[in-house]
Amino acid sequence: MGPLIVNEIISPNTNLLIAMLIGIGFGFVLESSGFSSSRKLAGMFYGYDTTVLKVFFTAAITAMIGLLFFSLFGWIDLSYVYVNPTYLTSAMVGGAVMGAGFIIGGFCPGTAFCALSIGKLDALAFVGGLVLGIIFFTEGYPMWEDLYKANFMGTPTMNELLDIPRGIFALGLILAAFAMFWVGEWAEKKFPREEY
Under rule CB under 8 A, residue 24 binds another protein: yes
Query: Where is 193: in which H helix or E strand?
Result: none
For the chain, the straight-line distance linking the first and the last C-alpha, in angstroms and rounded, comes to 44
Under rule CB under 8 A, residue 176 binds another protein: no
* Cβ 72 to another protein shortest distance, Å: 14
Under rule CB under 8 A, residue 54 binds another protein: yes
Under rule CB under 8 A, residue 51 binds another protein: yes
Under rule CB under 8 A, residue 87 binds another protein: yes
Residue ranges in 114-173 that form contacts with another protein under rule CB under 8 A: 114-123, 125-139, 141-142, 144-145, 147-148, 153, 155-159, 161, 166, 169-170
Under rule CB under 8 A, residue 11 binds another protein: no
Residue 165 half-sphere exposure toward CB, CA atoms < 13 A: 4
Amino acid identity, position 39: R
Nearer to another protein, 99 or 179 (CB): 99
Under rule CB under 8 A, residue 107 binds another protein: yes
Among 11, 72, 96, 182, binds another protein (CB under 8 A): 96
* Cβ 186 to another protein shortest distance, Å: 13
- Tell me the C-alpha to C-alpha distance, in Å, between residue 124 and each of 23, 29, 41, 75, 130: 19, 20, 16, 40, 10
Tell me which residue of 165, 3, 168 sits closest to 79, measured CA to CA. Answer: 3
Question: What is the distance between the alpha carbons of residues 195 and 36, in angstroms, rounded to a whole number?
Answer: 13
Q: Quick check: 28 and 34 in contact, CB under 8 A?
A: no
